Amino acid sequence: MKINSRQRAYLKSLAVKLNPIYQVGKSSITPEFTKAIEDALDARELIKVSVLKNCADDPGEIAQILAERTRSEVVQVIGKKIVLYKEGKEDKKKIELPR
C-alpha cells in the first residue's frame, strides 16, 4: 500500500509523540533486528527507530532496507530517527488513515 501526502502528514503528526522503541547500532540490520521490527509493526502499526552514532550506515538507506524487508512504508527520516508505518490487518487496525 502506498500512502499519499495527506496520510503521510497525518502519520508524522502521530509520530511526534512516539519514543524510539528500537536502536540500530554498529552491527546495523541483522535478521533478528528485522524480525523484531516486523513484530513491532504488526503490533503497533507506527514505530520510531533511532540510529546510534556508532552505526556507520546512512539512516535513509537503513529506512529503505527496513521498509523493503518488513513490507512497510517509510513515513519520514529526520536526522537519526526513522518512522515506519505498516497497515494493520482489518481486524486489528489501530490507525485510521484519512483518504
pLDDT score for 1: 66
Phi, psi of 50 (to 5 degrees): -105, 140
Query: What is the chain's pLDDT, residue by residue, as a tens digit (99 residues)?
Result: 688 899 999 999 999 999 999 999 988 899 999 999 999 999 999 999 999 999 889 999 999 999 999 999 999 999 999 999 998 877 677 787 788
Question: Is the pTM for the entire model greater than 0.95?
Answer: no
Separation between Cα atoms, residue 77 and residue 61, nearest integer Å:
10
**What is the total residue count of the chain?**
99
Separation between Cα atoms, residue 88 and residue 27, nearest integer Å:
29
Q: Where do the H-state alpha helices sit in the chain?
A: 5-15, 31-44, 59-70
Domains and CATH numbers, the chain: 5-87 (3.30.110.60)
pLDDT score for 51: 94
pLDDT score for 10: 93
**Torsional class of 79: left (φ above 0), alpha (ψ -120 to 50), beta (otherwise):** left
pLDDT score for 14: 93
Separation between Cα atoms, residue 44 and residue 47, nearest integer Å:
7
Name the DSSP class of 49.
Answer: E
